[in-house]
Amino acid sequence: MCGIVGYTGPKQAYPIVLKGLQRLEYRGYDSSGVALLKDGKLSVYKKKGKVAELEQEMLQKDSSAHIGIGHTRWATHGEPSDRNAHPHRSANGRFAMIHNGIIENYAQLKNELVSKGYSFSSDTDTEVLLNFIEHIQTNNNCDVEEALRIALKRVTGAYCILLIDEQDPDTIIAARKGSPLVIGVGKGEHFLASDASPIIEYTKEVVYVNDYELAIVKPDQLILKNLGNEKITPYITTLDMELAAIEKGGYDHFMLKEIFEQPSTIYDCLRGRLDANAGTITMGGIEKNFEQLINANRIMIVACGTSWHAGLVAEYIIEEICRIPVEVEYASEFRYRNPIVNKGDVIIAISQSGETADTLVALEKAKENGAFIFGVVNVVGSSIARISHAGAYTHAGHEIGVASTKAFTGQLAVLMMMALKMAIKKGTITQERYQQLLNELQDVPEKVNAILKNAEELKTIAHKYKDAGDFLFLGRGYNFPIALEGALKLKEISYIHAEGYPAAEMKHGPIALVDEKLPVVFIATKDSYHEKIVSNMQEIKARKGKIISIITQGDHISPTLSDDVFSIPPADELIAPIISVIPLQLLSYYTGIAKGIDVDKPRNLAKSVTVE
């Protein structure tokens, strides 16, 4: 949550920072602001609302400085407002700072500062940290770097901060713990950001800053240190990413672009790994530690949100074909309860961003307890990718829309390949079934493509039901997690209350909600549960609920029970979730659009949830 950008070099900083904020807006859009330093004078401009508001505000301002920092906020401490927007200025006006994360002991630090005469102009934890740094600096008469080091040793919580000092005309000081920071290394210039998207346009050479590291960044110098003031050699990596990947490419919204990219992102995920002709799956990151995985007594899957839903699908598949017990945990619960992690247990962490705070901390805890961690992550070089012992990237490319779409299908493809690889090695699947599933998996991109060609049908359905107050999503077996995912997508993007349920569980409570106004979406593809789900449709129809069903082409029974139908190509039931989710993504997209919602930036959400 929150996006941060910084620039120091010969160019004008503001246009770079502004464009960077626009690219990072998916991380939060409650307010934004910039601090610019020119001729020894620090100017801070900030505005409640989206980055466009700030851009407007800046039209008449002098923005010609060559050093600047900018922030787009997802509010934690203090409501979205101009005064709580970042950057914050220290009480003496000398420093400006932006922050992504949460300072958990801010109340204690604030009390200390208040007792020393400090007062505050915002409700944020950031202003407290900044004044704490200022207090140490003035009290100890030390340089700001030293003050920062002392302050950060007292801080609990998560942070990535960028700080500029009125008395130091070209330096940005940065530090991170738990919130991401990438530094782009240009020719006589440096770029700092929460992810690489603001940087890619200028340089592909980047340094990922690690926890407890401090960066002193000047146009032609980058010094990395630990909190003990020891220098660390920056490790420069080259980004494997193109500018086009982070632009809309002719689509109205990133979400739509990302939905339509799925035939190619799933293909990219399978490419070089799955060879159906040869009957092989090659996954370098998994193979090195394969024994660990196949001999696991138990697999625990740790994730949040949509990634958690991918974990549920994986649970069903791994238990079915690998016969290894699987538990799927919400990372936010796992990190605080006292889970039993035994020797021989393996953790699979699933995360699009690789920065989700709950997942990251859960993994740190599991790692301390000796667990072996496989990461299934989309963002290369992200914190979760780095904390994992081994893993596989989903190769879905940069996902910008807040609603996760292509990353989810990438996760399912990776998890399916992992399960198949384990199953054939363990001998818990026949060669014939294995080959059949390889063939099916290989056909997924084509089937997704076929669904996308009929997207307009879902637009019509979305318009019909856009004013509903509630939705129910029902599925059974492998499609039960897809019902949960359909409901989550609709909530996020259309603000319609929606619940996902196993179809048979519906009669234990949710059926009380059914009346002629309630749309019920059935994921009723042809599988071993089909007759059962048809009975559940009958139960809804008997109570006059409106039935929208996602069915397999050629199914003649379900349409007779449904008010609206969308057909998808036939697929093996283990593979079906990767394709049955596509119409649900489109349904929520078109519903959100029909309701006039900014689907790429729905209210209260952020793409990367780096606070707990």
Annotated catalytic residues are 2, 607
95 versus 308: smaller Cβ distance to ligand M6R: 308
Q: Using CB under 6 A, which residues numbered 290 to 329 contact ligand M6R?
A: 304-307
- Candidates 216-224, 349-357, 503-511, 569-577: pick the segment binding ligand M6R (CB under 6 A): 349-357
Q: For residue 338, with 0-12 CB atoms within 10 Å meaning exposed, 13-18 middle and 19 or more buried, which class applies?
A: exposed
DSSP-based three-state secondary structure for 156: coil
What does the alpha-carbon distance between residue 133 and residue 159 come to, in Å, rounded to a whole number? 14
With vertex at residue 15, the alpha carbon angle to CA 10 and CA 19, rounded to the nearest 5 degrees, is 125
Within 13 Å and on the Cβ side, how many CA atoms surround 128?
24
With vertex at residue 398, the alpha carbon angle to CA 354 and CA 221, rounded to the nearest 5 degrees, is 75
What does the alpha-carbon distance between residue 187 and residue 219 come to, in Å, rounded to a whole number? 8
Residue with tokens 């006039």: 596
Taking CB under 6 A as the rule, does residue 492 contact ligand M6R? yes
Contact with ligand M6R (CB under 6 A): which of 183, 403, 461, 506? 403
**Alpha carbon distance, N-terminus to C-terminus of the chain:** 10
265 versus 549: smaller Cβ distance to ligand M6R: 265
217 versus 403: smaller Cβ distance to ligand M6R: 403
17 versus 255: smaller Cβ distance to ligand M6R: 255
Nearest approach, Cβ of residue 489 and ligand M6R (Å): 6
Nearest approach, Cβ of residue 380 and ligand M6R (Å): 13
Tokens of 155: 């801080």
Nearest approach, Cβ of residue 488 and ligand M6R (Å): 6
Q: Is 555 left (phi over 0), alpha (psi -120 to 50) or beta?
A: beta
Tokens of 103: 């300072």
Which amino acid does the sequence have at 561?
A: L
What does the alpha-carbon distance between residue 426 and residue 420 come to, in Å, rounded to a whole number? 10
DSSP alpha helix (H) spans, 236-352: 254-260, 262-270, 284-287, 290-294, 305-322, 331-334
Taking CB under 6 A as the rule, does residue 588 contact ligand M6R? no
Q: Using CB under 6 A, which residues numbered 199 to 258 contact ligand M6R?
A: none
Nearest approach, Cβ of residue 402 and ligand M6R (Å): 5
Contact with ligand M6R (CB under 6 A): which of 84, 352, 552, 580? 352
In sequence order, what DSSP letters do the residues of 217-238 get, joined into one string? Answer: EETTEEEEEETTS-EE---EEE
Tokens of 606: 């952020």
- Candidates 27-35, 215-223, 291-299, 401-409: pick the segment binding ligand M6R (CB under 6 A): 401-409
Closest alpha carbon to 22 in 46, 43, 48, 53: 53
Which amino acid does the sequence have at 252?
A: D
Residue with tokens 């290394």: 185
273 versus 489: smaller Cβ distance to ligand M6R: 489
Closest alpha carbon to 13 in 72, 71, 63: 63
Contact with ligand M6R (CB under 6 A): which of 353, 383, 562, 567? 353
506 versus 609: smaller Cβ distance to ligand M6R: 609
Per-residue x/- mask for ligand M6R, residues 356 to 385, rule CB under 6 A?
x--x--------------------------
Chain residue at closest Cβ approach to ligand M6R: 305
Residue with tokens 């660390």: 232
Nearest approach, Cβ of residue 106 and ligand M6R (Å): 24
What does the alpha-carbon distance between residue 372 and residue 424 come to, in Å, rounded to a whole number? 22
420 versus 488: smaller Cβ distance to ligand M6R: 488
Total residues in contact with ligand M6R, by rule CB under 6 A? 15
Per-residue x/- mask for ligand M6R, residues 106 to 145, rule CB under 6 A?
----------------------------------------
Nearest approach, Cβ of residue 359 and ligand M6R (Å): 5
- Candidates 165-173, 177-185, 322-330, 400-408: pick the segment binding ligand M6R (CB under 6 A): 400-408
Taking CB under 6 A as the rule, does residue 609 contact ligand M6R? yes
Label the pairing between strands 372-377 and 390-393. Answer: parallel
Q: For residue 481, with 0-12 CB atoms within 10 Å meaning exposed, 13-18 middle and 19 or more buried, which class applies?
A: buried
Nearest approach, Cβ of residue 312 and ligand M6R (Å): 13
173 versus 402: smaller Cβ distance to ligand M6R: 402
352 versus 494: smaller Cβ distance to ligand M6R: 352
Determine how many CB atoms are found less than 10 A away from the CB of residue 50. 18
Nearest approach, Cβ of residue 241 and ligand M6R (Å): 17
Contact with ligand M6R (CB under 6 A): which of 400, 402, 417, 568? 402
DSSP-based three-state secondary structure for 97: strand
With vertex at residue 37, the alpha carbon angle to CA 34 and CA 41, rounded to the nearest 5 degrees, is 120
Tokens of 197: 């998207």
Q: Using CB under 6 A, which residues numbered 472 to 491 contact ligand M6R?
A: 488
Nearest approach, Cβ of residue 26 and ligand M6R (Å): 10
Please say whether the beta carbons of 527 and 573 come within 8 A: yes
> Which residues sit at the interface with ligand M6R, rule CB under 6 A?
304-307, 351-353, 356, 359, 402-404, 488, 492, 609
